[in-house]
Amino acid sequence: GQNIDQPTEMTATEGAIVQINCTYQTSGFNGLFWYQQHAGEAPTFLSYNVLDGLEEKGRFSSFLSRSKGYSYLLLKELQMKDSASYLCAERNQAGTALIFGKGTTLSVSS
Amino acid sequence: DVKVTQSSRYLVKRTGEKVFLECVQDMDHENMFWYRQDPGLGLRLIYFSYDVKMKEKGDIPEGYSVSREKKERFSLILESASTNQTSMYLCASSVSGTGNQPQHFGDGTRLSIL
């Protein structure tokens, strides 16, 4: 199977930078996604990485190292509205579905 | 924008009932998925479909079945509901292929089995 590991909870303050880490199994790697999910709402797509390096999208960036089976989501200039769960997901080896981690709940305080 | 619509936000059913959860997408996506989401367990894939009348088991298919008679509609069926199927159920869709196409999720159905 594919094991996705990410921290359960993180806390940070407004204006700060936070990095949410994710590790995954490297065999048959086929792409990695990050989603944001506010309480009671649907997950929404944030980023996709398939090659090594950093992908930047405004305040959010995602990094991938395929050799290490490691990704992180970097959130800059944190805002209260960034309080949410962040889900790391790897595309399965067959390329047909996503395997999700259990999610990291981020709490941003003032 | 992609729209994935689940028929109910909240549903309460009784043990032993046959339960239907409906999902419709409006973007002509080939792939559709059903997940359940539970505290501490995250999103787990129940079934998915990559074409009309095609279905594949996910990680936890036991106690569930699915139906995809039309491209835009993917139904999840609980043949005989049990209390351990109380959960949040999320439907998703995506285009086919292995590129950067994300899955788009519906708002979820919170199902309680009494």
Does A41 touch chain B if contact means CB atoms closer than 8 Å? yes
| Residue B5 CA neighbour count, 13 Å, CB half | 9
pLDDT at B98: 65
Contacts A–B by Cβ distance under 8 A? 52
pLDDT at B100: 78
CA A27 to chain B, closest CA, distance in angstroms equals 16
Q: Tens of pLDDT along B20-37?
A: 999 999 999 999 999 999
pLDDT at A1: 42
pLDDT beneath 70, residues of chain A = 1-2
Cβ within 8 Å of B, A 72-101: 87, 89, 91, 95-101
Query: Mutating which of A6, A44, A45 best tests the B interface, going by the most B Cβ atoms within 10 A?
Result: A45
| Banded model confidence at residue B56, pLDDT cuts 50, 70, 90 | very high
| Listed residue (A44, A8, A22) closest to A90, CA to CA | A22
In whole angstroms, give the CA distance from residue B70 to residue B52. 6
CA A35 to chain B, closest CA, distance in angstroms equals 9
